[in-house]
Amino acid sequence: MKILVINCGSSSLKFQLIDSEDESVLAKGLCERIGMEGSRLVYTKAGSDKLVIESAMPAHTNAVQLVIETLTDKDNGVIKSLNDVDAVGHRIVHGGEKFSKSVLIDDEVIKAIEECNDLAPLHNPANLTGIRACKELMPDTKMVAVFDTAFHQTMPAKAFLYGIPYEYYEKYKVRRYGFHGTSHSFVSSRTAKLLGRPYDKLKTIVCHLGNGASISAVKDGKSVDTSMGLTPLEGLIMGTRSGSIDPAIIEFIANKENKSIKEVMDILNKQSGVLGLSGIGSDFRDLMSAMENNDERARTAIEAFCYQTVRYIGAYAAVMNGVDAIAFTAGLGENNSYIREKICSYLSYLGVEIDSEKNNVNGTETIISVDSSKVKVLVVPTNEELKIARETLELI
């Protein structure tokens, strides 16, 4: 079967066409600047060079149309016709409390996703646009919605409730949802496989450290806690997001700087994190070189990032009454050995011991702890698209 995986943002559309037989990626690409001047598709067919196709895409339907045309193009394509796409898997950011697993998309599901728009006003409407565009162009193809929040729906109330009046949960569903669920699920189950241990009898802490970063406690195959909350702003210090702060800071800064709540929220989302701390940038490659050139703020930003991660690891080892494995994933988790070593250097009390040589890896599945390490530490590259394709296949 050939599964088209779509991740639709407000002005972008990422896709992969995956062959479920051998789980290979036949082609992938990114439509950028949808609805703006200068829109283009960056397309890669397996084994070929990147291709940049400049084309006007006033709406997402045009983007899906261009993706289909390119996938079926006689020179650059990988399929003969649209009929060769057996199903489409859509990444949906917020499923609220309605969706604890992936579902086949029908009108009722679309309505339910719409009802979650309030909880993810930037993401869900864009995700829905992708669904509608595909529906318009391939009305007979089965489609599946895979939610970022679904994996964390197993969290107990004591973990997902905030200490605020209960009526806000009842009236508005204000609670912790957590995100990156597809990644936390993929990586935790892969960790069990790599260790040769049963997934339903393992305590794993997954550190998804990218530009957006979150951490989860996965006990016996279920997410029992995670660092992101009602929105992806909570938790770890991220590239540009503050992560957890004292909520009183919002009013304090608003008063001092004469800003609205919306403006302060914008600062917390886009100008904070390691960017805000360092004044240099959000990409850790830039921060690492600045630190090597003795930039103290860059060093402090990196240290604060690692320290905050260590705090959560300690908390999650505590709530699970122990931890068997810690898995690092996403851009930093997979590629930055310095960060991994720094974080693990705090964890000797848990019985964590890293092998520096094994830790010297980039993007490869590896156990990086020494054989005698009580807690196993791994690098496990995430693959959200593959997970979406697998879930899609299962449902159709």
Counting Cβ atoms within 10 Å, is residue 172 exposed (0-12), middle (13-18) or buried (19+)?
exposed
Write the interaction track for ligand ADP spanning residues 336-365; mark x where CB under 6 A is met and - where it is not: x-----------------------------
3-state secondary structure of 391: helix
Q: Does 33 bind ligand ADP (CB under 6 A)?
A: no
How many angstroms from the chain centroid is the CA of residue 325? 20
In the complex, least distance from residue 288 CB atom to ligand ADP, rounded to whole angstroms: 8
328 binds ligand ADP (CB under 6 A): no
If one asks whether residue 316 binds ligand ADP (CB under 6 A), the answer comes out as no
Contacts of 237 (CB under 8 A, 6+ apart): 213, 243, 273, 274, 277, 301, 304, 305, 308
Q: What are phi and psi of 222, to 5 degrees?
A: -125, 140
**Rounded CA separation 359/367 (Å):** 8
Q: Would you say 313 or 332 has its CB closer to ligand ADP?
A: 332
The contact pattern for ligand ADP, residues 182-211, with x = CB under 6 A and - = no contact, is ----------------------------xx
Site for ligand ADP in 284-313 (CB under 6 A): 284-285
Q: Interface with ligand ADP by CB under 6 A: which range of 27-35, 167-175, 327-335, 350-358?
A: 327-335
Which is nearer to ligand ADP, 99 or 284 (by Cβ)?
284
Catalytic residue among 84, 86, 148, 225: 148
Residue 77 interacts with ligand ADP (CB under 6 A)?
no
What is the closest distance, in whole angstroms, from the C-beta atom of residue 329 to ligand ADP in the complex?
8
Q: Provide DSSP, 187-256.
A: HHHHHHHHHT--GGG-EEEEEEESSSEEEEEEETTEEEEES--SSTTSSS--SS---S--THHHHHHHHH
Cβ atoms within 10 Å of 165's Cβ, excluding its own: 10
The upper half-sphere exposure of residue 185, i.e. CA atoms within 13 Å in the direction of its Cβ, equals: 25
- Does the CA dihedral 360-362-367-368 come out positive or negative? positive
For the chain, what's the residue count? 396
Q: Which residue has the CB atom at the shortest distance from ligand ADP? A: 331
Q: Which residue is listed with tokens 């479920």?
A: 20
Choose one: 149-157, 256-264, 277-285, 317-325; the region binding ligand ADP (CB under 6 A): 277-285
Has 148 been annotated as catalytic? yes
Q: How far is the CB of 218 from ligand ADP (least distance, A)?
A: 19
Q: Considering only 30-38, 109-117, 260-268, 280-288, which stretch makes contact with ligand ADP by CB under 6 A?
A: 280-288
* Nearer CB in complex with ligand ADP: 169/338: 338
Distance CA 58, CA 68 (A): 16
**CB-nearer residue toward ligand ADP: 73 or 365:** 365
> Could you list the residues that contact ligand ADP (CB under 6 A)?
210-212, 283-285, 330-332, 335-336
Q: Which residues are catalytic?
A: 148
